[in-house]
Amino acid sequence: MQFAVERRLPDALADPERVDLLVTGRIDGECGDELEQAVTAELRQGRHSIRLDLTDAGFLSSGGIRVLFNVHRAAKAAGGSCLISAASEPITRVLTLSRLAPILMDLPAAAVEPQPLSPPVGAAVIGNLRVGPVHLLGFHPAPGQMLEGRLCGEQLVAGATPSLPVTRQTFGLGLAALSDDGPPATAAGEMLAACGAVFVRPPHPFASADSLLGTGDFIPEIRAAAALLWEGLPHGRTGFESAHDSPGVALVDLIRSLLEQADAPTLAVVIVAEVQGLVGAELIRPLGESSAADSPQVASAEIASRWLSFSREPAHAQKTVVIVGIATQRPPEAALQPFVRPLGTTGLQGHLHAAVFPSRPLTRGGGSLTALVDDLAGSAPLAVMHLLDDPQPVLGSGQSELVRGTCWFAPLQVHSGEKL
């Protein structure tokens, strides 16, 4: 269903400043300009009582919520109001469960009571370590904790579950779509999940990244083509920065240092950091268009370039990134083999995704991971990408580097199947 805004004027005698805008289709980050322009046009014509009828709008993402906030603030700044007068059941549910209904909806019964969320519990700090070119600050392991991960999605598991919930304790990465975007074959793109938030880049050239944040009783869901999910915040934790004069810490050096200290076959990793430069790729075609001779898996640079957009040089310097991934320094267990790739020329294997955001100052101790993700998810993601190293001499893009940040990590055992 295409996005559209239709203008309707109610009885001018009853309210000469009132106008209704009927919105059809998906309300997400990509519809922002059209809806904001429509509201601005009404404000310029002196119609300061704007009501949005979302009865025929079937989906609302976090990017769409930002759009609704933008038009709400614009009308308020002009001395008027822009509120939702009616909405479909899916949109009413998202706004109610996320406790945004009292702010954005002109419905007396929309208010709900907030419920507190319990942050994850951390362990005691052990000390500082230097591991090669990396300083690990306030390092402590995850004693006794083994996370259980599951490979899921129709590309990896026969009879895959149509949708999977992303709770506050869910972390994951892979190729997936928000549950209302459509089937994975047509809608799955680069995906990262952390602390109840999902960040997705649709599989189209020049697509904008979108997000959905779990709030209150609302739990986002995804449909996976090929993904790995685990439940539970990794309790191992350390800050990091460069041990040399150069400001950047190579991502593969950081991962290697964590694997060495954790002494685990496979490690689940979550990182929040300032960016020196990121190297990666993004899927730009739906998987449903693939064939045996034309797919992202074909070992041909020419074919790969038709499916993936690669970084030509390290990107997103001075931005803030959330990275979710897995890594192993040994031959991966059988269930994990289809999901991991070599990390540069280090002998390590893994799979790492990054969601990139505008710059945020980070404290040296890192703080609560849940609070950090909530803060970052308040702004639109700039990119969601699959991180990789491109070590080819001269023509290679190089490697991803971070300035400083915090890592959470724990040993991970991976199974093949949908149920977590």
> Cα–Cα distance between 353 and 270 in angstroms, integer?
10
Lowest mean pLDDT among 9-13, 221-225, 236-240: 9-13
Q: Which two tokens stand for residue 394?
A: 């001269």
> What are the pLDDT digits (tens) for 44-82?
777 889 999 999 988 888 888 888 988 998 888 777 899
Architecture in CATH of 4-110:
2-Layer Sandwich (3.30)
> Cα–Cα distance between 3 and 36 in angstroms, integer?
13
Asked whether 20 and 51 are in contact (CB, 8 A), the reply is: yes
Q: In 3D, which of 135, 352, 345, 150 has the Cα closest to residue 261?
A: 135
Q: What is the pTM of this model?
A: 0.75
- Model confidence at 400: pLDDT above 90: yes
385 Cα distance to chain centroid: 10
CA distances from 122 to 95, 144, 236, 375 (A): 32, 13, 8, 20
Q: Which two tokens stand for residue 96?
A: 């109610």
Q: In 3D, which of 143, 131, 132, 144 has the Cα closest to residue 261?
A: 131
Asked whether 185 and 286 are in contact (CB, 8 A), the reply is: yes
Domain span(s) for CATH 3.30.1330.80 in the chain: 127-416
| Helix/strand/coil for 178 | strand
Q: In 3D, which of 148, 126, 130, 152 has the Cα closest to residue 139?
A: 126
Amino acid at 156: L
> What are the pLDDT digits (tens) for 167-207?
999 999 999 999 888 889 999 999 999 999 999 999 999 99
| Helix/strand/coil for 229 | strand
> What are the pLDDT digits (tens) for 319-362?
999 999 999 987 777 778 888 988 877 789 999 999 999 988 77
Tell me the mean pLDDT in the region 116-138: 68
**Mean of all residue pLDDT scores within the chain:** 85
> Cα–Cα distance between 356 and 279 in angstroms, integer?
12
Domain span(s) for CATH 3.30.750.24 in the chain: 4-110
> Cα–Cα distance between 178 and 149 in angstroms, integer?
20
> Cα–Cα distance between 68 and 239 in angstroms, integer?
37
> Cα–Cα distance between 404 and 359 in angstroms, integer?
13
Considering only the top CATH level, what class is 127-416?
alpha beta
